[in-house]
């Protein structure tokens, strides 16, 4: 009973028809202290407990919304910067990144492809995601609530040899499987 939806359903459709008195009126828009004070004044212990659960569920939903709004704002900023960086990247550089990259420790292959002026990456059998540039060699992509950082690696002749994927502070090295003729 930590879900606001489940609590509301229980309160309005299960409890209300059997509850012998009107539900207490709580001002959910007030500050925390006054809302908790209103809840603590409810005489029925079971109702008071239910209202406390609803209070904490409402707080969790509100904090989750703040987090999502923050991530949306960060994504908007990162995407705007990526569009500016993309204008300065030579298309031949993007071509050099096209290929298959194997993360041996996870047993997966990432396929980097070029579509018009951008790069995309996909894991076999999964959807394709756009790689947005942070610089000429660093990119990022958004997957759910996570940002994945992707950095291409080179040998001493400046040939693309792999990439490093970093998510939540954990990095994975992917070795390039084969070179594309004329692509680096």
Tens-digit pLDDT profile for residues 134-173: 999 999 988 776 788 999 999 999 999 999 999 888 899 9
* pLDDT at 36 (0 to 100): 93
Q: Please give the average per-residue pLDDT across 54-77, as a whole number.
A: 84
pLDDT score of 178 more than 80: no
| Between 72 and 32, the higher pLDDT residue | 32
Residue found by looking up tokens 């990162």 in the block: 78
Q: Please give the average per-residue pLDDT across 81-96, as a whole number.
A: 89
Q: How confident is the model at residue 2 (pLDDT cuts 50, 70, 90)?
A: low
Burial label for 37, CB within 10 Å (0-12, 13-18, 19+), is: exposed
Q: Please give the average per-residue pLDDT across 23-39, as a whole number.
A: 87
> 112-122: per-residue pLDDT in tens?
999 888 899 99
Sorted by sequence, the CB contacts under 8 Å of residue 62 that are 6+ apart come out as: none
Q: How confident is the model at residue 26 (pLDDT cuts 50, 70, 90)?
A: confident
Q: Please give the average per-residue pLDDT across 72-90, as a whole number.
A: 85
pTM score, whole prediction? 0.62
Pick one of 2.40.128.50, 3.40.50.300, 3.40.50.970, 3.20.20.330 as the CATH number of 89-176: 2.40.128.50
* pLDDT at 9 (0 to 100): 81
pLDDT over 70 percentage in the chain: 95
CA pair distance 71, 15, nearest whole angstrom: 37
Name the average pLDDT for the chain. Answer: 85
* pLDDT at 1 (0 to 100): 56
* pLDDT at 102 (0 to 100): 93
* pLDDT at 174 (0 to 100): 94
* pLDDT at 184 (0 to 100): 47
């Amino acid at each position: 009973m930590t879900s606001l939806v489940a609590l509301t359903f229980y309160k309005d459709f299960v409890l209300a028809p059997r509850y012998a008195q009107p539900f207490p009126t709580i001002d959910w828009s007030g500050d925390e202290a006054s809302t908790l004070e209103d809840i603590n004044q409810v005489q029925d212990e079971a109702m008071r407990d239910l209202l406390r659960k609803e209070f904490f569920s409402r707080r969790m939903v509100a904090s989750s919304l703040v987090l999502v709004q923050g991530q949306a704002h960060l994504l908007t900023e990162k995407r705007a910067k990526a569009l500016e960086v993309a204008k300065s990247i030579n298309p031949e550089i993007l071509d050099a990144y096209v290929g298959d990259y194997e993360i041996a420790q996870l047993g997966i292959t990432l396929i980097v492809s070029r579509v018009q002026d951008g790069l995309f990456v996909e894991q076999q059998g999964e959807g394709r995601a756009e790689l947005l540039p942070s610089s000429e060699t660093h990119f990022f992509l958004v997957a759910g609530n996570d940002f994945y950082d992707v950095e291409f690696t080179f040998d001493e002749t400046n040939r693309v040899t792999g990439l490093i994927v970093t998510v939540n502070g954990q990095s994975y090295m992917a070795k390039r499987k084969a070179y594309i003729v004329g692509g680096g």
